[in-house]
């Protein structure tokens, strides 16, 4: 985090309780987390564990018998550390993501970690791309197709920019190897059903099938290649904090062809694995460079 972005009020706290992580500054956070360079965030606890386990294999980091272990409490988020990598779940949607971002940025700061990158590794609905394609986000758009994240503070609405780190996106894409991946704009919405123009929600929608398709085509023409539920908040926070950030999401379906996720559990696991592998290949490559340059 850049020093000018840091909250000066934190200096007034004797102990800072990172409530949703179950960690606090009374613990030896430096000992627990020093050396972390990459914070990977995925939606569910299952995926955070899977990514941590794969990171251990890909990076050759020894793990305890029985596999990787969580750190802190697991009621809200599940956090793993594997060498220079943290893998943590963020739940679904921007409010949940936002909580994790604040506490993770403070954690990295308290632990004295330098030059940390935040990478969201997740799943999404594709727009005009084949299911299983990994989209590395060029930028994050909100549900109104704006390059903005709107947040209400003390009753007033403020708008924050949602640019992402272009170089980091290029570097991650370059590490894709044999996995189908491409750059694209990622739209993040506050709802999965009506917020993404689905016709399979519980309630009678106010829009028709033709209006739904026209909106998805308009998004596609604006460069949107996938839709998820975290991009604007994630991009805006990291930009404010001065943390290099990337969003790498696999697509589970093509929204131009339907609303329902109909792939088999095996296919879905493979799709999710695609995004994680791209990111781990990127990290392995960076660590190799660091060793070669040492």
Element (H, E) at 110: helix 94-110
Residue 173 sits in the site that holds its own copies (CB under 8 A): no
Cβ closer to its own copies: 119 or 268? 268
Cβ closer to its own copies: 31 or 157? 157
Cβ closer to its own copies: 171 or 190? 190
Binding mask 44-63 for its own copies (x = CB under 8 A): xxxx----------------
- Between helix 45-59 and helix 265-293 the angle, nearest 10°, is 40
Residue 153 CB, nearest approach to its own copies (Å) = 5
* Cβ neighbour number for residue 207 with a 10 Å cutoff: 13
- For residue 57, which of 294, 253, 276, 218 has the smallest C-alpha distance? 276
Site for its own copies in 218-257 (CB under 8 A): 218, 229, 237, 240-241
* Cβ neighbour number for residue 290 with a 10 Å cutoff: 11
Residue 26 CB, nearest approach to its own copies (Å) = 12
Residue 290 sits in the site that holds its own copies (CB under 8 A): no
Tokens of 266: 């095996």
The answer to whether residues 217 and 254 touch, using CB atoms and an 8 Å cutoff, is no
Cβ closer to its own copies: 73 or 180? 73
Residue 206 sits in the site that holds its own copies (CB under 8 A): yes
Site for its own copies in 73-102 (CB under 8 A): 75-76, 91-96, 98-99, 101-102
* Cβ neighbour number for residue 181 with a 10 Å cutoff: 22
Residue 293 CB, nearest approach to its own copies (Å) = 31
Cβ closer to its own copies: 240 or 281? 240
For the stretch 222-256, what's the b/e string if a residue is b when 16 or more beta carbons lie within 10 angstroms of its beta carbon?
ebbbbbbbbbbbbbbbbbbbebbbbbbbbbbbbbe
Site for its own copies in 13-42 (CB under 8 A): 13, 16-17, 19-20
Element (H, E) at 151: strand 148-153
Residue 266 sits in the site that holds its own copies (CB under 8 A): no
Site for its own copies in 111-140 (CB under 8 A): none
Q: If binding means CB under 8 A, how many residues of this protein chain bind its own copies?
A: 75
- Give, in order, the Cα–Cα distances in Å from 276 to each of 40, 204, 238, 294: 9, 36, 20, 27
Task: Candidates 65, 115, 204, 293: give the one binding its own copies (CB under 8 A).
Answer: 204
């Amino acid at each position: 985090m850049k020093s000018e972005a840091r909250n000066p009020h934190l200096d007034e706290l004797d102990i800072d309780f990172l409530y949703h992580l179950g960690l606090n500054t009374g613990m030896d956070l430096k000992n627990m987390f020093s050396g972390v360079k990459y914070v990977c965030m995925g939606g569910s606890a299952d995926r955070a564990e899977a990514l941590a386990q794969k990171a251990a294999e890909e990076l050759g980091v020894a793990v305890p018998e029985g596999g990787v272990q969580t750190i802190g409490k697991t009621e809200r988020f599940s956090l793993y550390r594997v060498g220079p990598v943290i893998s943590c779940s963020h739940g679904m949607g921007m409010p949940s993501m936002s909580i994790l971002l604040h506490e993770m940025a403070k954690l990295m700061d308290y632990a004295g970690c330098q030059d940390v990158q935040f990478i969201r590794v997740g799943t999404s609905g594709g727009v005009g791309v084949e299911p299983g394609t990994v989209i590395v986000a060029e930028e994050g758009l909100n549900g109104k197709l704006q390059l903005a994240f709107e947040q209400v503070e003390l009753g007033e609405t403020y708008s924050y920019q949602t640019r992402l780190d272009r170089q980091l996106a290029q570097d991650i894409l370059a590490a894709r190897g044999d996995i189908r991946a491409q750059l694209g704009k990622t739209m993040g919405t506050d709802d999965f059903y009506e917020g993404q123009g689905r016709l399979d929600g519980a309630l009678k929608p106010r829009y028709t099938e033709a209006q739904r398709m026209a909106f998805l085509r308009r998004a596609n023409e604006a460069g949107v290649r996938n839709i998820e539920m975290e991009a604007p908040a994630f991009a805006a926070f990291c930009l404010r904090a001065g943390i290099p950030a990337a969003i790498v999401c696999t697509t589970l379906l093509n929204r131009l062809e339907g609303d329902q996720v109909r792939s088999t559990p095996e296919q879905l696991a493979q799709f999710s694995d695609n995004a994680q592998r791209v990111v781990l290949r990127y990290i392995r490559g960076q660590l190799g460079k660091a060793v070669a340059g040492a």
